[in-house]
């Protein structure tokens, strides 16, 4: 099928490898990948801060650019939740509400797309390392995405997954929250890092680069021996 890949702003700017890995994986599976050239953002920052009119200016364009898509894969749990769950709320009572409701079922976060829609768990990947998994909150709670990433990791050759105690606890990013309340955000990130380090894993894997940005940012500043990597980057390794 033709997969429309939605690349969020921070993946585009900071973690292009994540998007590139997704393209390679989808093409290897025999699908055609298209990428809308705009918008570059899903509108979540403005939405979360309470500026819904400003958020709608971007979200409207997203809906329009995706309206003819066969299926939309989103390269992050938090943007995935924005499109699938929050767009209908954002546009409630407006003329875009219907389009938002029609878009929602077409949207999938990347790992959910592979497992739930394509029925694929084994991508022939090899990654001989000890890893632990961080459940990004939007992916976990808005998109119910607990199992697909783990099913995919289970098929990666040489990979050992050790669950951390605080896997489901928020890492403290929360978008603008991380800048508005940096002290709390840092404390939450510290708790997450400590839990990950307890597992003695070499890598923290997640479906959300924004979470990984927070965790890696803290780990680097504190010179902690842990590396973060997106699920797609693991799965593309052979």
Residue 30 CB neighbours (<10 A) = 8
Shortest separation between residue 146's beta carbon and other proteins, angstroms: 12
Q: Does 14 bind other proteins (CB under 8 A)?
A: yes
Q: Does 21 bind other proteins (CB under 8 A)?
A: no
Q: Does 158 bind other proteins (CB under 8 A)?
A: no
Provide the residue count of the chain: 238
CA distance 146 to 171: 16
Pick out residues in 190-219 that bind other proteins (CB under 8 A).
191, 213-214, 216-218
36 touches 6 (CB < 8 A): yes
Among 188, 201, 205, 231, binds other proteins (CB under 8 A): 188
> Which residues have C-beta within 8 Å of that of residue 54, sequence separation ≥ 6?
46
Bridge partners of 160, per DSSP, are 130
Is omega for the bond preceding 39 within 30 degrees of 0, making it cis? yes
Among 1, 28, 29, 35, binds other proteins (CB under 8 A): 35
The smaller minimum CB distance to other proteins, of residues 159 and 192, is found at: 192
Bridge partners of 228, per DSSP, are 204
Question: Which residues lie near other proteins (CB under 8 A)?
Answer: 7, 9, 11-17, 19-20, 23, 35, 37-41, 43, 45-52, 54-55, 57-58, 61, 89, 137-138, 141-142, 168-170, 172-175, 177-189, 191, 213-214, 216-218, 220-221
């Amino acid at each position: 099928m033709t997969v429309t890949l939605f690349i969020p702003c921070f993946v585009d700017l900071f973690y292009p490898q994540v998007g590139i890995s997704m393209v390679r994986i989808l093409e290897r599976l025999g699908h055609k990948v298209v990428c809308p050239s705009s918008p570059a953002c899903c509108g979540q920052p403005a939405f979360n801060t309470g500026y819904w009119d400003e958020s709608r200016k971007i979200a409207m364009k997203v809906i329009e650019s995706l309206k003819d898509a066969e299926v939309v894969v989103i390269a992050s749990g938090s943007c995935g939740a924005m499109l699938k769950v929050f767009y209908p709320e954002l546009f409630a009572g407006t003329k875009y509400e219907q389009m938002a409701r029609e878009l929602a079922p077409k949207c999938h976060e990347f790992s959910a797309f592979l497992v739930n829609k394509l029925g694929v768990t084994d991508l022939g990947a090899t990654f001989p390392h000890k890893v632990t998994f961080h459940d990004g909150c939007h992916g976990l709670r808005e998109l119910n995405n607990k199992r697909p990433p783990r099913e995919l990791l289970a098929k990666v050759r040489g990979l050992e997954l050790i669950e951390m105690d605080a896997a489901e606890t928020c890492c403290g990013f929360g978008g603008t929250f991380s800048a508005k309340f940096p002290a709390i955000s840092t404390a939450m990130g510290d708790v997450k890092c400590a839990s990950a380090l307890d597992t003695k894993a070499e890598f923290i894997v997640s479906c959300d680069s924004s979470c990984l940005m927070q965790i890696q940012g803290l780990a680097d500043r504190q010179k902690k021996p842990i590396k973060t990597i997106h699920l797609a980057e693991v799965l593309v390794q052979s």
